[in-house]
Amino acid sequence: MNLTFAPEEVRDIAAAWLLLSLAFAFFMIRLSGRALLPDPTTVPPVFLATVFGASVATVGVGFLCHELAHKVVAVHYGQVAAFRADYGMLGLAVLGGLAGFIFAAPGAVHHRGYLTPREHGLIALAGPAVNVALAFAFAPLLLFGGLAGSVGQLGVTINGFLAGFNMIPFGPLDGATVRKWDTGAFAVSFAVCAGLGAVAFLFVGFPF
């Protein structure tokens, strides 16, 4: 398998990782009750750095692994695949985080070449499946206090959200592609991903 990254793709991945992490950091700061607008100086720099660092390690990693999973499986099936950032949507995500809401569509892996419906479905399913695995990987950190526990809490919540959201069978989301391939596979994967997302939000939540 020839997995390569052009300089433009590395740039897009890095920009999407950092800007999406920043958007979620702003969102969590607003959830914590601290103000960012109209006076960002009310947020202590150490707190901002802590939340942003935790966001990079959880939101950023969840996003990056999700997109890399799509690419790895696409390349496995002989596709030419690359991630392309949507800078307009990334800007909207940052502004939304500042305003206290989040809507993230940072970009997508685009691929070309012949695919069977099954291959197309498995490429789509790879992203949410990785987020499910990451949620369980972060879960042991919930046993700890302090920053480690906060990272675990955020890692479980964010990856549960990414898994559940992306399995919605609508538009360009992964769930629509999986359902088009196999309704049975979609039903099982949607139940797992949506169930994990619901549990993460209701019983784990945001740490900040």
With 0-12 / 13-18 / 19 or more C-beta atoms within 10 angstroms meaning exposed / middle / buried, residue 18 is middle
CA dist 198 and 195 (Å) reads: 5
Active site residue 8: no
- The DSSP code for 189 is H
Phi, psi of 20 (to 5 degrees): -65, -40
Tokens linked to 197: 């997302």
- The DSSP code for 40 is G
Which residues on neighbouring strands pair with residue 111, listed in sequence order?
81
First-to-last C-alpha distance (Å) of the chain? 41
Q: Give the type of residue at 163.
A: A
Q: Which of the following is catalytic: 8, 9, 67, 119? A: 67
Q: Annotated catalytic sites, by residue?
A: 67
